[in-house]
Amino acid sequence: MRGRTRRWRLEHSVAIGRMLAPLRRGAGDPTYRLEGARHWRGLRTPDGPATLALHHDGDEVVAEAWGDGARWAIGQVPALLGQLDDPTGFEPDLPVLCAAARRVGEVRIGATGLVMEALVPAIIEQKVTGQEAFGGFRRLVQRYGEPAPGPHPRLRVQPAPETIRGIPSWEWLRLPVDPARSRAVLAACQRADALERTIGLPGDEVERRLRSIPGIGRWTAAETRQRAHGDPDAVSFGDYHVAKDVGFAIEGRPWDDEELEAFLAPYRPHRGRVVALLLIAGIRRPRRGPRLAPRTHLPT
């Protein structure tokens, strides 16, 4: 299969790995492969499935794409790599933020432009351990996705909403994804076309439309806005780690969501950029104590 290739000399230099890291759902994500310096992604674009491979060649970024969605995937690369993000108005003021900015440079937020790609795994990740969340998504893609077009032999594409709508309830338990999460995934897939049309809308309106779906709350909407829409103001309130990590970075103690929200309020519309800056800089509380164990009462 013949592919498409394009090169960019980016206006704003970024590391591909840093920009794409939030899109990888665990080390075994079948839709993402890192081989050497080349990042491979299996996508379901508005024009059809595609494979996108990105790597640096000196000062340039090289994009290669295959499949019906190849043209769309290549056209999305500037947004994916944060070139359309506008950090104007974000001025690190506290010493810890200034030190983080000196360490990592300018933080840019990428946008995939693909809502369901971000929303489905975000729902699966609700209120479970990372091991269970990544395992459930991996099995969903392996069992119901499809091979990505092009030369990569193991890359896969997330299943289409119409495919997901046909998965019976007992198969969700085998992934394992419990009924509350599978119902939310199915409800989102029923409105997939409308949700994809939220790209380009203001963040508050995107939030309203996402949260109008039963089972999608503040955390899931923010996770989707960050990845699909490239929203620099989206913050994952309700996350097990985020408030604690930011509190530790700023005051040396874990915060709750109320304290995090109060701290971030003056940074609108860059609240998410503040969190990203601290996390990229690696400033987070020490991890102590036993890990949460995955649940064992669901069939495998």
Predicted confidence (pLDDT) at residue 296 exceeds the cutoff of 90: no
Is the predicted pLDDT of residue 294 greater than 60, yes or no? Answer: no
Domain range summary for the chain, segments of one domain joined by + = 129-147+157-218
Per-residue pLDDT at 292: 44
Per-residue model confidence (pLDDT) at position 295 = 44
Whole-angstrom Cα distance, residue 155 to residue 46?
A: 19
pLDDT exceeds cutoff 90 at 160: yes
| 200-204 average pLDDT score | 97
Over residues 214-241, mean pLDDT:
97
Res 287: pLDDT: 63
* Dihedral angle of Cα 186, 188, 193, 197, to the nearest 10 degrees: -170
Residue 154 has pLDDT above 50, yes or no: yes
User: How many CB atoms are located within 10 Å of the residue 194 CB?
Assistant: 12
Over the stretch 86-138, which tens digit does the pLDDT of each residue have? 999 999 999 999 999 999 999 999 999 999 999 999 999 998 887 888 999 99
Contact of 199 with 229, CB cutoff 8 Å: yes
- CATH of segment(s) 129-147+157-218: 1.10.340.30
Tell me how far apart the terminal alpha carbons of the chain are, to the nearest angstrom.
37
Helix (H) / strand (E) containing 223: helix 218-224
pLDDT at 131: 81
- Prediction pTM value: 0.92
Q: What is the pLDDT of residue 133?
A: 83
CA angle centred on 107, ends 104 and 112, rounded to 5°: 130
pLDDT grade, residue 290 (50/70/90)? very low
Dihedral angle over CA of 122, 123, 127, 133, nearest 10? -70
Which pLDDT does position 291 carry in this prediction?
45
DSSP character at residue 282: T
User: Is 10 within 8 Å of 61 (Cβ atoms)?
Assistant: yes
Quote the pLDDT of residue 238.
95
Cα separation of 151 and 165, whole Å?
29
Inter-residue contact 74 to 65 (CB < 8 Å): yes
Average pLDDT of the segment spanning 55-82: 97
For residue 300, pLDDT over 50 is answered with: no
pLDDT band at 288 (very low <50, low <70, confident <90, very high): low
Give alpha helix (H) positions in 39-198: 70-75, 77-80, 95-104, 115-124, 130-144, 161-165, 169-174, 179-190, 192-196
Residue percentage of the chain with pLDDT more than 90 = 90
